[in-house]
């Protein structure tokens, strides 16, 4: 594994090598996590200012917590929605969106629920953990209630109700202990059959997303990590670049020209 740190001497070579691989790749897959949205102002979960330092995931990100106190959960999600509503895609989202629009060779798989990849007009986006801007019925009353609907109200007036059965509605995000949507997981696994796999802005600790880079590596892809710090994926990838995504991705994009 090669290491590179943009804070030190300029590592033109590893980036140029990666750009060469991207230029000739028939299929490129990118897995993103909260770090890609950090420069947009969306708090990450782990790391120095991570949300999970102040809050306990099991109190705020589980179906049980919702059943116990839907109003508390909606207060937390309402706060996150207000924060995210003020955020715009940054240079890293923009580069990936541009790659996704230049033919169909690039797939972006994200763990983020902020929809900033969508806002940047990313095509073929797989949203593994759902969207904070979509709601679904907490009791799964009918097919439509289960599949969810978009609701971008900010602030959210109290606990929203299911538009079909009037039960409390929940954010259509994947909570701890819940399964990912089958179609999304299938699409993410399919994306590991690629020539280059990038893992960007993720601590690589939450499965099954964290396993995708290993799977891509096993499938013969060239794998690279772009993250502010080392993660469990660092020892798996062919190239680790520990620097901000909003700096590294535009740099690679320039080398592609
Ligand atoms: P984390 O908060 O766990 O990790 C974010 C990573 O991004 C950290 O390793 C940071 O060092 C890094 N980082 C911060 N700023 C960065 C920048 N500007 N450029 C590059 N990297 C940066 O977020 P995720 O890995 O996405 O799950 O977390 C995975 C899942 O855990 C989330 O989807 C969420 C959470 O609990 C659910 O909600 C189901």
pLDDT in tens, 201-221: 999 999 999 999 999 999 999
Is the distance from the beta carbon of residue 42 to the nearest atom of ligand 1 less than 6 Å?
no
In this predicted structure, the answer to whether residue 12 has a pLDDT above a threshold of 60 is no
* Per-residue model confidence (pLDDT) at position 84: 98
Task: Quote the ligand 1 centre to 204 CA distance (angstroms).
Answer: 8
Q: Catalytic one among 129, 164, 217, 242?
A: 129
Residue nearest to atom 36 of ligand 1 (CA): 45
This prediction's pTM: 0.94
CA atoms of 157 and 168, how far apart (whole Å): 13
Task: Quote the ligand 1 centre to 158 CA distance (angstroms).
Answer: 28
Q: Which atom of ligand 1 is nearest to the CA of 176?
A: 39
* pLDDT 10s digits, 106-127: 999 999 999 999 999 999 999 9
Task: Quote the ligand 1 centre to 104 CA distance (angstroms).
Answer: 26
In this predicted structure, the answer to whether residue 11 has a pLDDT above a threshold of 70 is no
Q: CB-side exposure of 152: number of CA atoms within 13 Å?
A: 5
Active site residue 93: no
* pLDDT 10s digits, 218-233: 999 999 999 999 999 9
CA atoms of 32 and 88, how far apart (whole Å): 16
Q: In what order do the strands lie in the sheet with 125-127?
A: 2-4, 239-242, 222-227, 196-200, 28-32, 106-110, 125-127
């Amino acid at each position: 594994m090669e290491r590179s740190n943009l804070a030190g001497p300029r590592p033109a070579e590893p980036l140029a090598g990666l750009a060469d691989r991207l230029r000739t790749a028939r299929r490129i897959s990118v897995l993103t996590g909260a770090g890609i949205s950090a420069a947009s102002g969306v708090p990450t979960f782990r790391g120095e200012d991570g949300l999970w330092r102040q809050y306990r995931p099991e109190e705020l990100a589980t179906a049980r917590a919702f059943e116990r106190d839907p109003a508390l959960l909606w207060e937390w999600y309402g706060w996150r929605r207000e924060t995210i509503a003020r955020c715009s895609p940054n240079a890293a989202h923009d580069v990936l969106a541009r790659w996704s629009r230049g033919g169909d060779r690039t797939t972006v798989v994200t763990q983020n629920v902020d929809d900033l990849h969508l806002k940047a007009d990313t095509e073929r986006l797989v949203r593994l953990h759902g969207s904070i801007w979509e709601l679904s019925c907490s009791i799964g009353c009918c097919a439509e209630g289960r599949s969810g609907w978009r609701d971008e109200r900010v602030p959210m007036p109290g606990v929203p109700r299911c538009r079909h059965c009037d039960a409390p509605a929940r954010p259509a995000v994947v909570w701890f202990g819940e399964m990912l949507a089958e179609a999304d997981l299938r699409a993410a696994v399919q994306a590991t059959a690629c020539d280059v796999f990038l893992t960007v802005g993720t601590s690589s600790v939450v499965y099954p997303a964290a396993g995708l880079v290993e799977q891509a590596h096993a499938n013969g892809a060239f794998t690279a990590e772009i993250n502010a710090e080392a993660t469990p994926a660092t020892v798996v990838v062919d190239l680790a670049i520990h620097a901000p995504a909003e700096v590294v991705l535009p740099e690679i994009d320039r080398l592609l020209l």
